[in-house]
Amino acid sequence: MRSLFIFIILMTGAQAAERLVIAHRGASGYLPEQSIAAISMAHAQGADLIEIDLVMTSDDRIVVLHDPYLNNLSSVPAVFSDHARKDGKYYVVDFTLEELRALELSERFNDEGASFPDRFPVHKSSFEIFTFEEAIELIEGLNKSTGKDIGLLVEIKLPEFHFENGKDIAYEALKVIKCYNYLKRSDNIVLQDFDFNSLKRIREVLFPAMDMELKLNQLLDGSDRYDWMRQPDGMAFLSNFVDGIGPHMGIVVDERSTKDDIIITPLVQMAHDAGLWVHVFTFRADEGMIPDYADDFEDLLDIFWNKAGIEGVITDFADRAIKFKDKNK
């Protein structure tokens, strides 16, 4: 009886420790984020899920981009100098898809130069912006040609900003997803957003109206608009609408932690008590991106997987997380 009891505990432990590696914007540690090349490389690396972000164009197409503007990822000022708004930004929603196709997509940069100096060089080779439909077809095509079953984690960016610009991005994204026949919770796609109201609307209004039901993930960080979720009652309420949470690493392991004193916040336990998974962002191996409490990238993974007990890591370096996962089974 006792050994059965121990066996059940071990089984429960094994289940709780099921680990997912999620490639953040494709293999963005190695190639310009969300390019076809970066997504293909993440697929070849063998990530469990590939994360992409969606933004809308002026002609109601959905493109795979993180920022609502193009300034830090493309050659835009040289090509469309008249398209900037008063704040100096070139918003995707002011461009047609055809105009976006004329741009070169670049490794991310800022006023000082490359955002990640050791990554792929800025403005080199040739990459282009592509659509949500093309991303789905790319993953499905690679799944077919390789025999793998890699899923998509789709982030709907800034629903409120899109509404202000006359676009219902959540609805438009669901229409595309439905066209590709992703209709049920068992389908290999997860939708995520920082905007709780948008996720709630998807669950309560759009899913029933469109006869679909997919898995949803609530993103959150340390800002006070998420304070209510970071309480047991709030987390239980949240679990009525979503299947998991995607917290910033700083609210899972306290940033005041040191190597001798890793402070795990109650967030993961609260989420698990509410029946939610925890997929943490963003694990980066670049110099200067490892918190002081971890020795290196692998130690950071060890802390989050083995000490904090999370399920998924969202990382720019899926290859290294997979290697760590395989070695520490």
State the residues that interact with Ca ion by CB under 5 A.
53, 155
As measured in angstroms, the least distance from the Cβ of 190 to Ca ion is 12
Taking CA atoms, 116 is separated from 113, 284, 316, in Å, by 9, 10, 12
Rounded Cα distance, 261 and 72, in Å? 38
- Angle, helices 132-146/36-45, rounded to nearest 10 degrees: 30
Could you tell me the two tokens for 109?
């940069």
Beta bridge partners, 155, equal 53, 192
Q: Which CB sits closer to Ca ion, 55 or 274?
A: 55
List, in sequence order, every residue forming a beta bridge with 191; answer none if it has no partner. Answer: 154, 216
- Identity at 132, one-letter amino acid code: F
By beta-carbon proximity to Ca ion, the closer residue of 80 and 220 is 220
Report the alpha-carbon distance of residue 278 to residue 253 in Å, rounded.
13
| AA identity, residue 305 | W
Q: Which residue is nearest to Ca ion (CB)?
A: 155
Contacts of 30 (CB under 8 A, 6+ apart): 38, 41, 119, 120
Instruction: Specify whether the CB–CB gap between 147 and 43 falls below 8 A.
Output: no
Nearer to Ca ion, 53 or 67 (CB): 53
H or E stretch at 39: helix 36-45
Cα(216)–Cα(154) distance, rounded to whole angstroms? Answer: 10
Cβ nearer to Ca ion, comparing 104 with 193: 193
| Both tokens assigned to 325 | 């996962």
Q: At closest approach, how far in Å is the CB of 256 from Ca ion?
A: 26
**Closest separation between CB of residue 245 and Ca ion, Å?**
14
Instruction: Judge contact between 33 and 66, C-beta under 8 A.
Output: yes
- Cis-peptide into 282, omega within 30 deg: yes
CB of 25 to Ca ion, least distance (A): 7
**Which residues carry out catalysis?**
24, 66
CB of 53 to Ca ion, least distance (A): 4
CB nearer to Ca ion: give 91 or 293. Answer: 91
Angle between helices 318-327 and 36-45 (to 10 degrees): 10
We find the least distance from the C-beta atom of residue 280 to Ca ion, in angstroms, to be 13
- Cβ nearer to Ca ion, comparing 67 with 99: 67
Q: Which is nearer to Ca ion, 57 or 217 (CB)?
A: 217
Residue 303: name the closest of 328, 270, 274 by CA. Answer: 328
| Rounded least distance, CB 158 to Ca ion, Å | 11
CA distance 126 to 104: 6
